[in-house]
Structure 1
Amino acid sequence: MDQLEEKTLHSEKLFEGRIIELYLEDVELPNGKTSKREIIKHPGAVAIIAITDENKMVMVRQYRKAMEKILVEIPAGKLEKGEKAMVTAKRELQEETGYTCDELEPLISFYTSPGFADELVHLFITKGLRKDTEEHQLDEDEFVELLEVTLEEALELIEKKDIYDAKTAYAVQYWQMKTLLGK
């Protein structure tokens, strides 16, 4: 055991919802003392950087109840039980935006809030992006507005705090870096 690890002494499930589970855990700290940890278990998610032939990023405007505001985000969604991230990404891209692509390239995976949650987001970028001929179908409780923005517009949306989540800010910065490097 690494000298920084915390040993779980007891774990109690406090809540099980449609998406998350909440646990209260008693842990032994590296110094031998004990503490409590509130842990959210999440199935994981995907997010997609989708750039059109016109060099615009496909995004969605969506009301986020936890923030009590509308945010502009890249297409994303949670993993279904037993589903591979690539399958989820293709489905979410089509459902949220009406776009499909020839290929999805995995870029990176990252934890959103490792201090209290195990949610792991898998970020992909599209190749061969095109508008799907079939009508896309959002989840019944999902309402989004489709946007296609230039890099300059995306940076302005960050400045105005319309883009205010980490995955989307990361995606825009990745796009900006690739543009500056001429790739």
Structure 2
Amino acid sequence: MWLSTFYTKLLWAVLFLGVALNITIRQMKKWETISEYIYKTPFGNLRKDRCEMPDGKVIDSYYVHEYSDWVNAVVLTKNNQIILVNQYRHAGGDSFLEIPAGKIEVGETYSEGILREVREETGYTSKANPIKIGEFMVNPAIQNNKVVTFLILEAYKAGEQCLDEFEDLSIHTYDFDELDELIKMNKIKTQLFTVHAYYTVKDYLKHE
């Protein structure tokens, strides 16, 4: 997992160097497309595009998964405890410790969405405004949505969980700094978004 830290630092170095040297990345032309839907569901849609590339090449069937934008948050208490939820993930065939996360509902801002998700999944909330850490495309090769990551400080227990019918989550707390070692030593089962958010927030806090 030290590679995650290495690549995060390398990415920041490249970004800062690009700004310092006024380096620009060439904006590539968009493809021309004709679209049809294979299916639409409340969970997400599958779209099939016929794509014509700038050089004239044609891809007859390019499949795109459409999802609502997602939000997640590293939630820290006054005692520097990180709030995680443990839940079974059917596709992964196992249980995973994760930071609170979910999708944006119609009419919500990203800040409103993450506060709602944290409150529903954990019972925790905060009087401090969520700090936006960044937004990232989830998988731009085949998905159209992004995940917006927040840091929530001074979180406190405000009530019980308010879970959906098919949600089954348990709440776990860890010392924020100790989680680093647990991830590196593979002592907890977690997933990409949680690891990425953790190290991004850790880097953010170093510079505050």
Whether these two folds match at TM > 0.5 is: yes
1:113 aligns with 2:107: no
Match of 2:191 in 1: 164
Match of 1:27 in 2: 51
CA 6–90 in structure 1, closer or farther in 2 if over 3 Å, else same: same
1:176 aligns with 2:202: yes
CA 182–54 in structure 1, closer or farther in 2 if over 3 Å, else same: farther
Match of 2:64 in 1: 39
Number of residue pairs the alignment of both structures matches: 178
2:121 to 96, 110, 122: 96
CA 146–80 in structure 1, closer or farther in 2 if over 3 Å, else same: same
Q: Distance in 2 between matches of 1:159 and 1:42?
A: 33
Note the C-alpha offset of 1:98. 0.8
1:66 aligns with 2:91: yes
Note the C-alpha offset of 1:4. 3.6
Q: TM-score, normalised by structure 2?
A: 0.79
Structure 1: tracts of 5 or more residues without a match: none
1:85 aligns with 2:110: yes
Counterpart contact for 1:158–1:169, Cα < 8 Å: no
Q: Distance in 2 between matches of 1:3 and 1:171?
A: 29
**One-letter amino acid of the structure 2 residue matched with residue 106 of structure 1:** K
- C-alpha deviations, 1:84-135, integer Å up to 9, x for none? 2111111101111110001211121111111100121111111331110x32
Note the C-alpha offset of 1:7. 1.1
Consecutive aligned runs of 4 or more in structure 1 exceeding 3 Å deviation:
none
Match of 2:149 in 1: 123
More helix by share: 2
**One-letter amino acid of the structure 2 residue matched with residue 135 of structure 1:** E
Counterpart contact for 1:43–1:81, Cα < 8 Å: no
Match of 2:12 in 1: none
CA 128–156 in structure 1, closer or farther in 2 if over 3 Å, else same: closer
Note the C-alpha offset of 1:3. 4.8
Match of 1:15 in 2: 39
Aligned CA RMSD, in angstroms, stands at 1.8
Counterpart contact for 1:45–1:78, Cα < 8 Å: yes
Q: TM-score, normalised by structure 1?
A: 0.89
Q: Distance in 1 between matches of 2:167 and 2:179?
A: 25
Identity between Structure 1 and Structure 2 (%): 26
